[in-house]
């Protein structure tokens, strides 16, 4: 059966990195004797420019019909006016919400050959392998009311942090299931010393833990977690946390790898259809120069193969090809390439596809 994959290149370096990941998927399909139908659709700033809407109905319809979606990045200075009525980021948030993609998996592994690219000491990084499970459709990102108003002649703005027990339970349960296939440890991160929503989070996480006697649960406050991430990163296995904390802690954890450009993610809901995207943004400073790292997008394609298409063997193949390219010295500029030796986005993609062909 043909699998339909929707490509949402988006803005900035998004189209550059998605192009390479698309070619990797095409190479894998040919090898596996599978047929993938690719459809390109617009999202984010590009969609605002074309349609006045960061998530046009045609894009959302195509995503609903697809088996899987691969996204580059959205946003950029062109659409950043704080008073703008529509923003590129609304397209991505709207898509996550509309498809019910409540869990965002962000695996962060420190590759030994990249230790020199990280500002952390190499000895700290040895064997670091953390899976973040970030809640993706609740919390501050979506809570109501959210508004801006003038009260008594002064401006004021409101965002709301709200979680229901069911929203917490489903994402925590997924984190426990995933921990079963790893090192059986879950760290639930909250701010229960201050926030009511975090106290509910902690209570529900403790109840869910009872369903998984084989998995150890610990709770940690988000501020001390932020420090422990860079002082003892090996002490974590699976980290589950709410939307905003997960956004912030995962960019911090990207430091383990030396570059934000290599971390993939999978956004999953109840069915098998998922949205796959590198965790980095549109990198306006690099856009249009062909120098961005495509590895985050390519590893997101690997997650797509595994979680939405049931092609675990092919996903392993892509991940091994990326590791082999890194081990044999392939580096884009952000990975600490020696002067004059940095690969372009396209050359890195090509190098990884050569490893796939040779496997
Ligand atoms: P960013 O992730 O775009 O960039 C942060 C830093 O990392 C920059 O120095 C950038 O050059 C570098 N970087 C990012 N991706 C890279 C790659 N693939 N290769 C090499 N270097 C890379 O974050 P930002 O600058 O804070 O945000 C820029 C825009 O991206 C904003 O509009 C923001 O809303 C948007 N954004 C989108 C997503 C997404 O679409 N999922 C994620 C984060 C930020
Ligand atoms: C991410 C991004 C998004 C988020 C933005 C662009 C809405 O930072 O995917 O990490 O905050 O979720
Ligand atoms: Mn982010």
**Ligand 1 atom 10: residue of nearest CA:** 283
d(CA 45, CA 43): 7
Q: How confident is the model at residue 322 (pLDDT cuts 50, 70, 90)?
A: very high
Backbone angles phi, psi at 66, to 5 degrees: -75, 160
Residue 339 has pLDDT above 90, yes or no: no
Same domain, 251 and 270: no
Name the residue with the closest Cα to ligand 1, atom 17. 261
Round to whole Å and give the CA distance between 297 and 8. 12
Give the gyration radius of the chain's Cα atoms: 20
Q: What is the pLDDT of residue 1?
A: 81
Which domain-ending residue is among 256, 285, 315?
Answer: 256
Neighbour tally for 208: CB within 10 Å: 22
Q: What's the whole-number mean pLDDT along residues 351-357?
A: 97
Of 195, 224, 256, the residue at which a domain comes to its end is 256
- Domain extent for 51: 1-102+260-359
Give the DSSP letter string of 120-179.
S-HHHHTT-EEEEEEE-SSGGGTEEEEEEEEETTEEEEEEE----HHHHHHHHHHHHHHH
Q: What is the mean pLDDT of the chain?
A: 97
Q: In this structure, is residue 113 part of a structural domain?
A: no
Residue where a domain stops, chosen among 200, 229, 256: 256
CA of 307 to the centre of ligand 1 (A): 25
Ligand 2 atom at shortest distance from the alpha carbon of 277: 9
Mean local confidence (pLDDT), 89-113 = 97
pLDDT surpassing 90 at residue 343: yes
**Are 284 and 167 in a shared domain?**
no
Q: How many CB atoms lie within 10 A of CB 120?
A: 17
Q: Does residue 134 share a domain with residue 75? A: no
Total number of domains in the chain: 2
Q: What is the pLDDT of residue 171?
A: 99
Per-residue pLDDT, averaged over 216-230, amounts to 98
Is residue 223 part of the annotated active site? The answer reads yes
Do both 227 and 180 map to the same domain? yes
Q: What's the whole-number mean pLDDT along residues 148-153?
A: 96
| Residue 245: CATH number of its domain | 3.40.718.10
> Is residue 107 domain-resident?
no
| Chain CA centroid to CA 159, Å | 23
Which DSSP symbol is given to 335? Answer: G
pTM (2 d.p.): 0.98
Residue of 72, 73, 80, 89 to test ligand 2 pocket, by largest number of atoms within 8 Å of CB: 89
Q: Are residues 97 and 138 in the same domain?
A: no
Task: Write out residues with Cβ below 6 Å of ligand 2.
Answer: 75, 89, 92-93, 247, 279
List, as ranges, residues with CB under 5 A of the ion ligand 3: 247
8 Å CB contact between 150 and 156: yes
Q: pLDDT by residue (tens digit) across 269-297? A: 999 999 999 999 999 999 999 999 999 99
Residue 330 within a domain: yes
User: Which pLDDT value is given to residue 151?
Assistant: 95
């Amino acid at each position: 059966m043909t699998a339909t994959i929707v490509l949402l290149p988006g803005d900035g370096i998004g189209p550059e990195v998605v192009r390479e990941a698309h070619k990797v998927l095409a190479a894998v399909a040919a090898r596996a004797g599978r047929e993938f139908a690719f459809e390109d659709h617009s999202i984010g700033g590009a969609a605002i420019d074309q349609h006045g809407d960061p998530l046009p109905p045609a894009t959302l319809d195509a995503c609903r019909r697809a088996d899987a979606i691969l996204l580059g990045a959205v946003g950029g200075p062109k659409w950043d006016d704080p008073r703008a009525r529509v923003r590129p980021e609304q397209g991505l948030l709207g898509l996550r919400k509309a498809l019910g993609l409540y869990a965002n998996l962000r695996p962060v592994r420190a590759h030994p050959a990249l230790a020199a690219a990280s500002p952390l000491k190499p000895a700290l990084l040895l064997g670091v392998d953390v899976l973040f499970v970030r809640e993706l459709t609740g919390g501050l990102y979506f809570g109501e009311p959210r508004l801006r108003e003038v009260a008594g002649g002064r401006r004021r703005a409101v965002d709301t942090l709200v979680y229901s027990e069911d929203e917490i339970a489903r994402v925590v349960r997924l984190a426990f299931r995933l921990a079963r296939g790893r090192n059986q440890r879950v760290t639930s991160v909250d701010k229960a010393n201050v926030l009511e929503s975090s106290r509910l989070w902690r209570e529900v996480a403790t109840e869910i833990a009872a369903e998984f006697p084989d998995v150890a649960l610990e709770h940690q406050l988000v501020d001390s977690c932020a420090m422990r991430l860079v002082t003892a990163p090996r002490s974590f296995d699976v980290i589950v946390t709410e939307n905003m904390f997960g956004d912030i802690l995962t960019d911090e954890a990207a430091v383990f790898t030396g570059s934000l450009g290599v971390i993939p993610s999978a956004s999953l809901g109840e069915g098998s259809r998922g949205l796959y995207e590198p965790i980095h943004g549109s990198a306006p400073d690099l856009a249009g120069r062909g120098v961005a790292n495509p590895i985050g997008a390519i590893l997101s394609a690997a997650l797509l193969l595994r979680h939405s298409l049931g092609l675990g063997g092919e996903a392993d193949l892509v991940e091994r090809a990326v590791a082999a390219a890194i081990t044999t010295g392939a580096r884009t500029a952000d990975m600490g390439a020696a002067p004059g030796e940095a690969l372009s986005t396209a050359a890195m993609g090509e190098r990884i596809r050569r490893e796939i062909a040779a496997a």
